[in-house]
Amino acid sequence: MKREIKFSLVFRDMWQSAGKYVPTVDQLTRVAPAIIEMGCFARVETNGGGFEQVNLLFGENPNRAVREWTKPFHEAGIQTHMLDRALNGLRMSPVPDDVRQLFYQVKKAQGTDIARTFCGLNDVRNIAPSIKYAKAAGMISQCSLCITHSPIHTVEYYTKMAMELIELGADEICIKDMAGIGRPHSLGQIVANIKAKHPEIPVQYHSHAGPGFNVASILEVCNAGCDYIDVGMEPLSWGTGHADLLTVQAMLKDAGYKVPEINMEAYMKVRSLIQEFMDDFLGLYISPKNRLMNSLLIGPGLPGGMMGSLMSDLEKNLETINKSNIKNNKPLMSQDQLLIKLFDEVAYVWPRVGYPPLVTPFSQYVKNLALMNVMQMEKGKARWSMIADDIWDMILGKAGRLPGPLAPEIIEKAKAEGRKFFEGNPQDNYPDALDKYRKLMNEKQWETGEDDEELFEYAMHPAQYEAYRSGKAKVEFKADVAKKRSEKQTAAHPAATPAASAPAAPASVTMAMPTTPQVMTVDVNGQAYKVTVAFGDTTNAAPAETQAAPAATSAPAAAPAGSGKEVLSPLEGKFFLVKGASDTPVKVGDVVKEGDVLCYVEAMKTYNAVRAEFGGTVTAICLAAGDAVSEDDVLMTIQE
């Protein structure tokens, strides 16, 4: 019999590769005992990546979720691991160094054993601090090679990167094949090269099923010396997810490897609970197309984790494009037509922005840039006419070194806009911030939490944390679930009256009333008005969010409130005046110049700056932080 191969259940990624959300903490703690009872997992992925932002969107405390979710696995002797985005920590944008350091201390205290760190640019400089901080906190530092397929990303490229990471102190190496487009033979060569020089270093293989290579890849990496294989299970395996546990176990057993047996009674319990969670509300956010294999993904190389939310995003983008098509007497576009246009544009954009590995956040950046190009060109505007600040940071080198050269057209655009390229250490762009957030929490009379975990959460996800604390996140989440249920019921029974009954809230989500006023839109005789509604006792309300829009009545007499030209939203998303608590928001009465940043529309996980097309005095700000906006909604007015 050959070597033993161990399995890891990537439970978090199973959900996020299928749709938008992961289960609530109560659902997680229900399924954990059955996963343990299956008896076949040496490791389980319990948190990381977007997990904690999802908790905040639910209105749940993510720290409670991680502690309660990891506890039963620890008691059973199963290791837990999480996904860490190096310079970006747990979010899409870079994180200050002191917040990164606290991150590992908090996660170790909460029960996470292994930090799986990756840099979306494969820049070893971004990973190096994570190795040091993880080991100092007592965690196992597992460092990732983000696999993609291009003229630059060769076997030699990845072998060299692995050796550099091991030299820096990495305890383990993960072959992170996030799009499943790694070719089996090449992946086997990479693992063989690592094991030839460092047979003592455990290697774990993570891949997505989408294009169809990954079962062959699993066999190749195991033959080359791989120790752990990440797997999914029904009903969330395959498609944009991962190879199924049962298939992988049977294949490796036939190949002569020692693999764990599976308690099938427990397997069926877990399978049933997953389906129950989908039927509760999670399935409302899972596109049926994400359950299918798709060889079209070989071309654009988009990762499974991103494809999980892409189809949901495309529905909104398609609606925006078709609104413009109707306005301009053009034929309507189908979702498949938009998807093909997007894939073609990704193939155009990717080499021109330096071949960043297509993994979070850079897969989203490349996809968003391609999608913005498609949307702008469909409306008769120029390619590259809308590039978000975070995407510019990638292009300019502020997030790390790009693997390939930029196209001349991108360099020329950067110079034309007066943007400067950066060649130093990316971390130097993001100064320490914990003292600032500790001060803000003291002012708001918020506890920093056990092991400073609440302080960490606020510093890592400021806007989402404030929305969670105010209660706004839970209100918006429940409203969105109700809307999705209503749409599903209408689609199933088009003749039924939508108003006949109120859609039920998710069974697993309990609602707490918000403590700050909420801005809502009401319809009066066909006219939409924004109103502020206070919930419960407002006498002890928490301080207003730093990004809340000031009242229009503070405008000077020379510029009457609401007068002047309207500033319209360029796309659908959520409105924010600033990106972070330390930024200074525009307020009514401010004088702005052409080109000044007025606000942001957060869409597809990036903040898109809205700049002034003319100068003048701000006379009204029409939305509050976090309000949903559609394309062409009025954001503010400016008197020239």
Q: Assess whether pLDDT exceeds 90 at residue 363.
A: no
At residue 101, the pLDDT reads: 97
Q: Cβ contacts of residue 365 below 8 Å, gap of 6+? A: 356, 388, 390, 391, 394, 606
- Rounded Cα–Cα distance for residues 1 and 565 (Å): 76
The answer to whether the CB of 379 falls within 8 A of the CB of 325 is: no
CA distances, 96 to each of 63, 335, 429, 467, 577 (Å): 20, 39, 9, 21, 21
* Least confident stretch, 350-359, 433-442, 466-475, 486-495: 486-495
49-to-332, 356, 429, 456 alpha-carbon distances in Å = 36, 18, 22, 15
What pLDDT is recorded for position 417?
A: 87
For 360, the 3-state DSSP assignment is: coil
- Does pLDDT of 33 surpass 80? yes
Q: What is the pLDDT of residue 140?
A: 98
Residue 514 buriedness (CB in 10 A; 0-12 / 13-18 / 19+): buried
Share of the chain above pLDDT 90, in %: 57
- pLDDT (average), residues 149-175: 97
Residue from 380, 285, 403, 363 nearest 324 by CA? 380
What does the block give as tokens for 269?
């319990």
What was the pLDDT predicted at 492? 80
pLDDT for 582 equals 66
Of 5-19, 75-89, 325-339, least confident by mean pLDDT is 325-339
Mean pLDDT of the chain: 86
Using CA atoms in the order 363, 58, 245, 183, what is the torsion angle rounded to 10 degrees?
A: 0
Q: How far is CA 572 from the centre of its chain?
A: 18
Of 186, 173, 162, 92, nearest to 140 by C-alpha is 173
Q: Which residues, other chains included, contact 80 with Cβ-Cβ below 8 Å and sequence gap of 6+?
A: 43, 44, 45, 46, 47, 70, 73, 74, 111, 112, 113, 114
Q: Which of 200, 138, 125, 199 is nearest to 168 (CA)?
A: 125
What does the angle CA 250 – CA 199 – CA 181 come to, to the nearest 5 degrees? 50
Q: What is the per-residue pLDDT for 54?
A: 79
DSSP 597: E
Mean of the pLDDT values across residues 36-59? 88
Whether omega before 361 lies within 30 degrees of 0, making that bond cis, reads: yes
Which pLDDT value is given to residue 312? Answer: 62
Sheet strand arrangement including 597-603: 606-611, 597-603, 573-576, 628-629
What type of residue sits at position 97? D
Rounded CA-CA distance 182/157 in Å is: 14
Confidence of residue 388 (pLDDT cuts 50, 70, 90): confident
Computed from CA positions of residues 468, 473, 474, 475, in that sequence, does the dihedral angle turn out positive or negative? positive
Confidence of residue 556 (pLDDT cuts 50, 70, 90): very low
Distances (CA, A) of 634 to 188, 351, 565, 589: 54, 36, 10, 17
pLDDT at 303: 65
HSE-CB for 177 with a 13 A CA cutoff: 37
> How many Å separate Cα 153 from the centre of its chain?
24
Which of 456, 471, 452, 459 lies closest to 516, judged by CA?
471
Q: Report residue 308's pLDDT band, with 50, 70 and 90 as the boundaries.
A: low
Quickly state the pLDDT bin for 378 (edges 50, 70, 90). Answer: confident
451's CB contacts (< 8 A; 6+ apart) are 105, 106, 109, 110
> Which pLDDT does position 51 carry in this prediction?
77
Q: Is 318 helix (H, G, I), strand (E, B) or coil?
A: helix
* pLDDT of 46 over the 70 cut: yes
End-to-end distance of the chain based on CA atoms, in angstroms? 80
Per-residue pLDDT at 587: 92
The values of phi and psi at residue 46, to 5°, are -105, -25
Angle (CA) 99-600-466 rounded to 5° is 45
Whether residue 235 has a cis bond before it, omega within 30° of 0: yes
Residue with tokens 């400021």: 462
Which pairing describes strands 628-629 and 140-146: parallel, antiparallel, or unpaired? unpaired
Rounded Cα–Cα distance for residues 219 and 454 (Å)? 43
User: Which pLDDT does position 412 carry in this prediction?
Assistant: 94
Instruction: Name the token pair of 300.
Output: 């654009």
The span from the CA of 450 to the CA of 48, in Å, is 19
Residue 548 has pLDDT above 50, yes or no: no
Residues 210-246: pLDDT tens digits?
Answer: 889 999 999 999 999 999 999 999 999 998 899 999 9
pLDDT bin (cut points 50, 70, 90) of residue 537 is very low
Q: Is the pLDDT of residue 96 over 90?
A: yes
| pLDDT at residue 330 greater than cutoff 70 | yes
